[in-house]
Structure 1
């Protein structure tokens, strides 16, 4: 598809004169000019301009932002994770659970960090961390005991996830992550963020219990490529202003968590079922 300058200006929330200035000063113009001399933007041109809008909105000087906007974010080339076999996953879960029941936080943190270093966030999360945390949650639900075990285990996983270096250079915010209003389970968002850090993507997590107004304001101000909202119960998911968020130009909207499974969603909302699918949505919309 191609777009007129007016259409692109509307998509990005800038004035048509701004697009003209960026074209003349920095060469951020359309790829196509018709026989009649009319400018037409392609999807790739719009993506560059969207990065320019975000960068200048973050305070980067226009001349520097124009240079950065031309470069798509690249995945880190030095990551080489070994596969996590079924036997290794079972052994890791047993070791982690044993350390958790001893309240051995240093051992849990060491195990979690090694799993991530050797096998990557996705494998560690799906094959070890989630099964362990589910098992500990079931223990609390069945016996009414073990809350301290569950909390220390979650904290150890969080510590390991946050040990992954995050992209620090100015650039487009690839993902804004947030919980639905009154949703308190935000560790899955940290796992997604850590996996995006492995790919060199910039992200921010607003954390638990984000009011609808605050979420809308954050999306408006930060203009992320993807905004993903987590909810584990339908009554919490229903408090998210999907239609209002979907009306924001330039941001892809996604939802995740069990709370969305039974709900009918607008056609513009993505619903990844796994961590891998959520990562792919972000990568697909940030040039990878």
Structure 2
């Protein structure tokens, strides 16, 4: 049988704009929503989710465009201003998905944690729906606006995929489709410090899911070079900040790339606990106890 989160049921749940997400749901108690990153699916939370489900209702969706969730086509928006992307994969749209899924499952307020791409969706959900998101955790990412500001010079080579997938439709999709397992597997290999944390059967699920989602994954990244920057910049200009308790866990890549990650996050989150963790990028799989401890500390605030 394919790997799954023990004790969790897979459900198809209506989201925004007629899109339906697949979500693993388990446990009982106050709701916590966990959002996966790239190039993964909800399965990345398999260890953390089981622990939290002892006393929480835990909801682990595949983001729109990923895994077993719907993958709407990126709109042909030729009239959009230069540098913007259609809203189909804007983090604002993807955040609305998560709010809708939680509501469909009976939860008008919930704690929210995200890793990588999921953290960007979680960040946007917390800014757009402050009365809905009670607590926010973001794992190993910077807000989109800060990320682009931080990337510069030769150190930006580590983020080559951000620039590749920001290109207009056609080129990145064809390049990645030429050898998708090599492309997506590169990140699974490069970003993990403990390879055994992503066993072969889980890796196979991730690669198969990515092979089936190349256009939508690229569209997600393309939006982060366009409309997502516009939304973040508008919030920064308006002085909007995260109103809930926030926890951020990151590797020590800020120092290597020449920026202060904690300071960047503090500008958005007055009630912030920023922790540098000694793991690879896939920390929920490599060190689930570290992540569980941080999330339970957050939920107690």
The structure with more radius of gyration = 1
TM-score by length of 1: 0.33
TM-score by length of 2: 0.31
More strand by share: 2
Identify which of structures 1 and 2 has the higher relative contact order when contacts are C-alpha pairs closer than 8 Å and 6+ apart. Answer: 2
